[in-house]
Amino acid sequence: MRIGPVLVLVHELDAAYGALAHARDKQDWAWTRRELAVIAGLHARLRETEPSTVIGAAHQLREAAALLPRSCRVRPADRLRRIAARFDNGDRHISDLVWLRHTLQALMDGAHGRPGENAACLIALALKGAARPVLLYRSVSLPALEHGMPARRETLG
């Protein structure tokens, strides 16, 4: 099974943030600048990558929530985080998808200004990943033959 591209980017971001912390601890400012550039590039790639799983969509919703301002009375960022938590568990509710589409339209129409537009790009990608059907593969076992005898045939008589 392939790993979703968003999950790979999130893993790379975690590693880059760890390297950034290490560079700051060592007070190596050239290394710090390089790690900041790597992190900026990874965030840019995350904003362009369509998730292939619901878990990848959850990561993008959390990223979108981080972009929205905290000062507004209505806190869409909190709801985005709650939906992301449900997506992490594999739970997709129609009401969440409807709310995400409504919020996406509001953000694209200018709610919350430029940060809202940036968050809208991530929400649009997350919706694509969350709306994908989940495929389950199950094996089918044949009925066990009793005493090595072939299955009985019914005859019409």
Are 120 and 76 found together in one domain?
yes
Are 16 and 82 found together in one domain?
no
Residue 39's H or E segment, with its range, is: helix 29-46
In this predicted structure, what is the pLDDT of residue 90? Answer: 84
Domain of residue 126: give its range. 52-135
In this predicted structure, what is the pLDDT of residue 39? Answer: 96
Are 4 and 37 found together in one domain?
yes
3-state secondary structure labels for all residues of 42-64? HHHHHCCCCCCCHHHHHHHHHHH
In this predicted structure, what is the pLDDT of residue 134? Answer: 65
> Using CA of residue 123, residue 126, residue 128, residue 133, what is the dihedral sign?
negative
Cα–chain center distance at 148: 50
Report the number of distinct structural domains present in the chain. 2
Residue 155 lies in a domain: no
pLDDT tens string, the chain, 157 residues long: the values are: 567 899 999 999 999 999 999 999 999 999 999 999 999 999 999 999 999 889 999 999 999 999 988 765 568 899 999 999 999 988 889 999 999 999 999 999 988 889 899 999 999 999 998 887 766 556 666 665 555 555 555 555 5
Residue 65 and residue 42: Cα distance in Å, rounded? Answer: 17
Which residue is listed with tokens 């968003």? 6
Are 79 and 97 found together in one domain?
yes
CA distances from 155 to 151, 152 (A): 13, 10
